[in-house]
Structure 1
Amino acid sequence: MIEISSKTNDHFRRWADLSSARGIKKHNEFILMGEKLIGEFLENPNFKIKGEIVHEDLKSVTLTAPTLRGQRIPVFKLPKALFNEIDVVGTHYNLLVLEPKEIEPLTSASTQGLEVVSPLGDPSNLGALARSALAFGASKMILTEESCNPYHPKAIKASAGALLKLPLVKTGKFADFVASNNEEIFALDMKGENVATFKWPKNVRLAIGEEGPGFSGLKGLKRLSVHTQGVESLNATVAASIALFSYASFQK
């Protein structure tokens, strides 16, 4: 076990940087946080583990995980005060430093099943969307240039680990993607056809925009909406969940 007691330590400084998308990209690492998420991950560790971080009251989980038997994973021990600075979502549980998978560019022009298009810049919104996308059978999530980093700790937490399981691909700016797409892209909007009565095609690309601006002024999109009573509109990710459920139900 490697003990670290100073903020000037290179490892600590690097981990502290992983709370931002810039830091994740710079160091090509991200931190998995949360007892349940780590427990599920260790059942099928499909990302390279660079290290485990504990404090004096925590025992290593990588040393005893059956799926990691024979692997030599470095375990770093921090004082609680320093540990808490890395544990940015406040899990108070072991932290795993993982190497993100490279997100490949979208190469297929044809749509296969339900593909969710996300330009969401807020990590919590992206995570919540990914959780619903996985739950309702999306084949992949297409991240546009505007999207936040899917390995941001808040995104992974909000996704309940879905971002570690859902196939991810990337593309350029959303407007350019729409303009160059030969197939129809449907977008959730306040004004559009009701998802409850929409005849969903089996292969469809569904775009979810940020709350507020949405996709106003953007041409080339088919508009769908979740009709409401008593309120003007729903939270974007709540509306997305309803639309995704509607798609899944229609396919049965």
Structure 2
Amino acid sequence: MKDLFINLCGAAPKGAWHLLLIEENMKHISSDKNSDYKDLLNLLEGSQVKKQKRTLIFGEKILNEWLADPKYHCQMLVHWSEEKLAPYLKTNSTMALILTKDLYYELDAFGTGTAIGVFNIPEIQFNSFESPPKGLEVIAACGDPNNLGALIRTATGLGVRQIILTEEACHPFHPKTIRSSAGSVRVAPLQKGPSIRSLNAEIGFALDMHGQNIHQMNWPNDVRIIIGEEGPGVPEALKSNSLSIPLHPEVESLNAATAGALAIMSYMTAHKNG
């Protein structure tokens, strides 16, 4: 039987350790043909995050934040080393999954070398836009997980009231989105919405290179900003009520996350004394 020394305080291994037998909650996988391992590997794709309703958390800081948040349930912790998992296992109710080194490094897509958490993800409320906005709300169709993560980090940090993801957006709990958001997806005010192609110009102000100069915008208190897909941008139906960010003539456009951040900051600056 394998014994693990578990720090019951959940901190790094300092001082006294308590002996806790968790053989019944430990599993070893040594084959890439194992179905459980394949399921974990598939979580590196956004479609599987949606299907399995769980995600992978990488990096010591983000993992500790998720473990401390009662809204999120950790199904299991994964590593090749039992010793590396020991500091995280506060009770014997969390599964410890021990992989071979080769399998672990294949799963560790970001090269963290630390324990990987497998967490259930919550259902995201649907917004049908039947009610007017309250404060600043951002509608995003970002299909690139790195762009979406950066946008979520900025919007959450600056106090956007809602971040509404259209059907075109990638999954907010995609591991790449979580990592590029520096873990802020965990506390982001997320909602999901319909396709960006179903929206009309009355919904909010779309970001488009041919819109009104954003520096001339008189921002209302309650408003929505619409950020289109990378490449296609926003549909024609939304361009009649759009804002543009002035650029150097030889710079064609900004990526979605940067454009969104500038628009959010423009609104926040206008209402800094509000």
Q: Which has the larger radius of gyration?
A: 2
Does the pair score TM above 0.5?
yes
The 5 A counterparts of 1:7-46 are 7-46=32-71
Structure 2 CA distance for partners of 1:223 and 1:143, relative to 1, 3 Å? same
Q: Which residue of 2 is the match for residue 244 of structure 1? A: 264
The offset of 1:212, in angstroms, is: 2.8
What's the secondary structure of 1:75's corresponding residue?
A: strand
Q: Which residue of 2 is the match for residue 102 of structure 1? A: 123
Counterpart contact for 1:89–1:153, Cα < 8 Å: no
* 1:158-182 deviation digits (Å, cap 9, x = unpaired): 1111221112111221121x13x8x
Percent identity, please. 36
The offset of 1:37, in angstroms, is: 1.1
Work out the CA distance in 1 between the residues paired with 2:171 and 2:203.
26
The offset of 1:55, in angstroms, is: 1.4
Structure 2 CA distance for partners of 1:62 and 1:203, relative to 1, 3 Å? same
Counterpart contact for 2:206–2:238, Cα < 8 Å: no
Counterpart contact for 2:142–2:229, Cα < 8 Å: yes
Work out the CA distance in 2 between the residues paired with 1:167 and 1:160.
15
Work out the CA distance in 2 between the residues paired with 1:201 and 1:71.
53
Work out the CA distance in 2 between the residues paired with 1:50 and 1:130.
25
The offset of 1:81, in angstroms, is: 0.8
Residue 204 (1) aligns with residue 204 (2):
no
Q: Which residue of 2 is the match for residue 67 of structure 1? A: none
Match of 1:192 among 211, 221, 224: 211
Work out the CA distance in 1 between the residues paired with 2:111 and 2:148.
20
Q: Which residue of 2 is the match for residue 73 of structure 1? A: 94
Match of 1:59 among 78, 85, 90: 85
Work out the CA distance in 1 between the residues paired with 2:243 and 2:136.
15
The offset of 1:216, in angstroms, is: 4.8
Q: Please, what TM-score do these two structures have when normalized by structure 2?
A: 0.82
> More deviation in 18-27 or 91-100?
18-27
The offset of 1:29, in angstroms, is: 1.5
Work out the CA distance in 2 between the residues paired with 1:47 and 1:8.
29
Work out the CA distance in 2 between the residues paired with 1:210 and 1:219.
13
Give the number of aligned pairs: 244
* 1:134-161 deviation digits (Å, cap 9, x = unpaired): 1211111111111111111111111111
> More deviation in 101-110 or 241-250?
101-110
Q: Which residue of 1 is the match for residue 22 of structure 2? A: none
Counterpart contact for 2:153–2:182, Cα < 8 Å: yes
Work out the CA distance in 1 between the residues paired with 2:206 and 2:156.
18
Q: Please, what TM-score do these two structures have when normalized by structure 1?
A: 0.89
Work out the CA distance in 2 between the residues paired with 1:80 and 1:251.
52
Structure 2 CA distance for partners of 1:61 and 1:150, relative to 1, 3 Å? farther
Q: Which residue of 1 is the match for residue 141 of structure 2? A: 119
RMSD: 2.0
> More deviation in 45-54 or 211-220?
211-220
Counterpart contact for 1:185–1:221, Cα < 8 Å: no
Residue 5 (1) aligns with residue 27 (2):
no
The offset of 1:220, in angstroms, is: 6.3
The 5 A counterparts of 1:97-176 are 97-107=118-128, 108-176=130-198
